Amino acid sequence: MTKRRKWRILAFAILVAFLLTGCKEFDAKGYVQASLDAMFQGETDALMAFEEGSKKSELEDEYEDYIASFAAGLTEGLNVSDGMQIQFDMLCEEIFRSMRYNVESSEKVSRKEYRVLVEYEPSDVFVKWAEYLAENAVDINKKAESGEYQGTKEEQLEQILLDIAAESCELLDTAMWDASYGEKEEMTLTVKKGEDGEFSLEEEEIDEFVGKIMRLDAIQG
């Protein structure tokens, strides 16, 4: 065999290896599992393998920011101190970690799109919290009517808001421990390849999934 022929064979082998590597099927199922684990559990190692150039610290910051944003939505309108807000953040982190879900299968729609089936057990933690808050509101109203809050109207209102904030945090902790899970349900999530060449989940679908697994639709609107 001539030297030129050897080089041709070697070049062909390298080309085949490159093509096989380049045509490797995207693991949509693994990507969704890693994404959900990062969002709910704060486990970012698996997701790093799918997001080139991402740093563990950045993904961890994204997780903490998401939890803090979610918790801030719960306390909006309440007179909470910074310390109490941190307590809400910690409770929400525990609640997110308690969610039950599993990625079942994936279907390739095109080179740029996959549909991934996720099975989950909805938690009634926030349904219970809403019930406890309603009961607590009745108690606070009775206290106000009986004159337990002293001072001017503004001072009384401030005391009432402080009571609501403090008891809301305690009641969320109670609801977390009292929470139960419903029958298994399913939702299909879409994974699409963007202009940057990276696959990602649809943000609206993720918000919908969070709403379903935590039954937020039962207490909204």
Supply the pTM of this predicted model: 0.83
The alpha carbon of residue 137 and the mean position of all alpha carbons in its chain are separated, in whole angstroms, by 29
User: What is residue 10's predicted lDDT score, i.e. its pLDDT?
Assistant: 41
- 176, 98 Cβ separation under 8 angstroms: yes
Greater confidence, 101 or 81?
101
Question: 3-state secondary structure string, the chain?
Answer: CCHHHHHHHHHHHHHHHHHHHHCCCCCHHHHHHHHHHHHHHCCCHHHHCCCCCCCHHHHHHHHHHHHHHHHHHHHCCCCCCHHHHHHHHHHHHHHHHCCEEEEEEEEEEECCEEEEEEEEECECHHHHHHHHHHHHHHHHHHHHHCCCCCCCHHHHHHHHHHHHHHHHHHHHHHHHHHCCECCCEEEEEEEEECCCCCEEECHHHHHHHHHHHCCHHHCCC
How confident is the model at residue 152, as a pLDDT?
86
Token pair for 134: 């309603």
CA distance 80 to 39: 25
Q: Is the confidence at residue 173, as pLDDT, over 80?
A: yes
133 phi, psi to nearest 5 deg: -65, -40
Give tens-digit pLDDT for 190-211: 999 998 889 999 999 999 999 9
Which residues fall within 8 angstroms of residue 73, CB to CB, at 6 or more apart?
Answer: none
pLDDT, residue 150, reads 84
Q: What is the pLDDT of residues 111-162, one digit of tens each?
A: 999 999 999 999 999 999 999 999 988 888 887 788 888 888 888 788 888 8
Q: Residue 56 pLDDT more than 50?
A: yes
pLDDT at 109 over 90: yes
For the chain, the domains span 26-218
Read off the tokens for 177: 């421990």
DSSP string computed for 125-176: HHHHHHHHHHHHHHHHHHHHHTT-S-SSHHHHHHHHHHHHHHHHHHHHHHHH
Q: Quick one: pLDDT at residue 130? A: 93
Confidence (pLDDT) at 221? 54
Q: What pLDDT is attached to residue 22?
A: 46
Per-residue pLDDT band at 24 (split at 50, 70, 90):
confident
The backbone torsions φ and ψ at residue 119, rounded to the nearest 5 degrees and listed phi first, read: -100, 140
pLDDT score recorded for residue 53? 79
Q: Judge whether residue 21 has pLDDT over 50.
A: no
As a whole number of angstroms, the distance between CA 204 and CA 208 comes to: 6
pLDDT given for residue 140 in this prediction: 83
